Amino acid sequence: AFFDVLFNLFRSVKLTIILLILLAILSILGTIIPQNASKAEYVQRYGLRLYQILNSFNLFDMYHSWWFSAILLILVINLIACSIHRFPGVWRQIFKKPSGLEDSMLKTLPYVEKIQGLDTSQPKTFGEIQSCLGKWFRNPKWIETEKSTTLYFEKGRFSRLGVYLTHLSILIILTGGLIGSIFGFKGFVNILEGETVDHIFLRTKDGEVTRPLGFSIRCDDFKITYYDLQRPEKLVKDYTSDLTILENGKEVLKKSIEVNHPLHYKGLAFYQATYGTIRDVTIGIQWKGRREKTLFQVPEGEITPIPNSKNFIRVLRYAPQVHNFGEGVQVALFKPDQEPRAFWLLRNLPDFDRKRGDEFILTFEKAQELEYTGLQVTKDPGVWIVWIGCSLMIIGLITSFFFSHQRVWLRIPKREGEEMILAGTTNRNRIGFEKVFAKTKEAIRRTERSKEQ
């Protein structure tokens, strides 16, 4: 009894509706709340207290949470239970041997017409009747009994499998999405013109994680096209990147990509996502007691080692004007076993850093603006499974909504003077079937009138 109750619960259509509504609400929530952003972004947006509450429910990575997977699993069980409950009976009906038109069936069939006066004893009459019905129905089956001969016509009997094709397609789509969620990823990388990289970055709650590609990709050129408008501001029309894939130092693939036209290589897709400019800052370092100055490059936003030391430096931001002192950059200095320290370097005041009282003096020499292309890199091994499921869903929906299972019986008595009976039924599109049934009846009556003449 317990398993019967459990099975009845999982095969319930009400459960299906509740699960679909719940998934729709959660999908809207996942769209409103940005997914897989950094902790700092969430704290800045929601505050620390609300961040802790939302994070405890895994709302920042909800599509990989256990409760979202559990809802999908229940939906899968629900679809399988519904199919198991109804499919065997439908399958038996599809291949069931047709029976003659019994009197007891006339009370249940929705369309029944009685036709009198037609002489069915002539073989030619049978051929004319079959020809009339053949305009709409083909391959009749003859069912002989002692009292009558029944012509049985059937069309679209496999259309009842459309709903099960739709169920199967949903299972395939969910399987493909699960495979993509487990074995796939979505990352990003910014590449300067002429630069080559062999890794990308994945966003997690704790920050960015580096992931190697297994090959190298180079940005040969980056181009921006603007609309030709008579306005002071420029509106971007398109932006493209010329990329080259390198394996062991050899060029193996070249392609120009733009928005929605990615480069595919070894299961990875490189999409044109964004663009921008960064500054390549030249920093000078002069050690106390020495006159010579060493120059080194620090790309904006990257941590770079300081030459001849165990220290690192990072350019936080560039400002064209710092309190009327001219150009400046804010840098962060990283020393072993010390907290990072942030301070400004001013280009017009080369001795400004002397006040820090360190063993070396840093100076801001110049900043060069460089363009970069922003690429979104995705791997989704389940995408083809999802496409197969979507194609199967289209076939299932078309079969379910545009085809119907139609059956027509024409019982022809073997004795003279008895009436002929035309009956039919359909599982959907009753209006269309009524028109066909009326034309069939009229065609048989025309045969009757022609015989009388």
Give the model confidence (pLDDT) of 226-283 as tens digits.
Answer: 887 777 677 878 889 999 999 988 999 999 998 888 999 998 999 998 888 888 899 9
Give pLDDT, residue 17.
Answer: 92
**Residue 350 reports pLDDT greater than 60:** yes
Give pLDDT, residue 235.
Answer: 81
Rounded to whole angstroms, the Cα distance separating 223 from 231 reads 21
Rounded to whole angstroms, the Cα distance separating 325 from 368 reads 19
Contact 10, 36 (CB under 8 A): no
- Tens digits of per-residue pLDDT, 274-315? 888 888 899 999 988 788 888 998 988 888 998 888 899 999
- Tens digits of per-residue pLDDT, 75-99? 989 989 888 888 888 888 888 888 7
Mean pLDDT score, 378-389: 91
Long-range (24+ apart) CB contacts under 8 A made by 211-218 are 211/185, 211/187, 213/268, 214/266, 215/245, 215/246, 215/247, 215/252, 215/265, 215/266, 216/245, 216/246, 216/247, 217/191, 217/243, 217/244, 217/245, 217/246, 217/270, 218/191, 218/194, 218/243, 218/244, 218/246
Q: Which range among 209-218, 275-284, 316-325, 414-423 shows the weakest confidence by mean pLDDT? A: 414-423
Q: How far is CA 173 from CA 19, 20, 130, 280, 416, in A?
A: 16, 15, 46, 46, 60
Mean pLDDT estimate for the chain: 85
Dihedral, CA atoms, 119, 123, 127, 133, nearest 10 degrees?
40
Burial string for 74-92 (b: 16+ CB within 10 Å, else e) reads bbbebbebbbeeeeeeeee
pLDDT class for 132, splitting at 50, 70, 90?
A: low
**Residue 355 reports pLDDT greater than 70:** yes
- Tens digits of per-residue pLDDT, 168-201? 999 999 889 888 888 888 889 989 888 899 999 8
DSSP state string for 80-124: HHHHHHHHHHHHHHHTPPP----GGGGGT-SEEEEE-S---SSHH
3-state class of 157 per DSSP? helix
Rounded to whole angstroms, the Cα distance separating 205 from 65 reads 13
pLDDT class for 385, splitting at 50, 70, 90?
A: very high
pLDDT class for 9, splitting at 50, 70, 90?
A: confident
DSSP state string for 314-344: EEEEEES-STTS--EEEEEEE-TTS--EEEE
Give pLDDT, residue 395.
Answer: 93
- 214 sits in the region (left: phi over 0; alpha: psi -120 to 50; else beta) called left
Rounded to whole angstroms, the Cα distance separating 362 from 288 reads 11
**Residue 324 reports pLDDT greater than 90:** no
- Three-state SS across 205-245? CCEEEEEEEEEEEEEEEEEEEECCCCCCCCCEEEEEEEEEE
Looking at the chain, the whole-number percentage of residues with pLDDT higher than 70 is 92
**Residue 1 reports pLDDT greater than 80:** no
Distance of alpha carbon 212 from the chain centroid: 26
Give pLDDT, residue 122.
Answer: 52
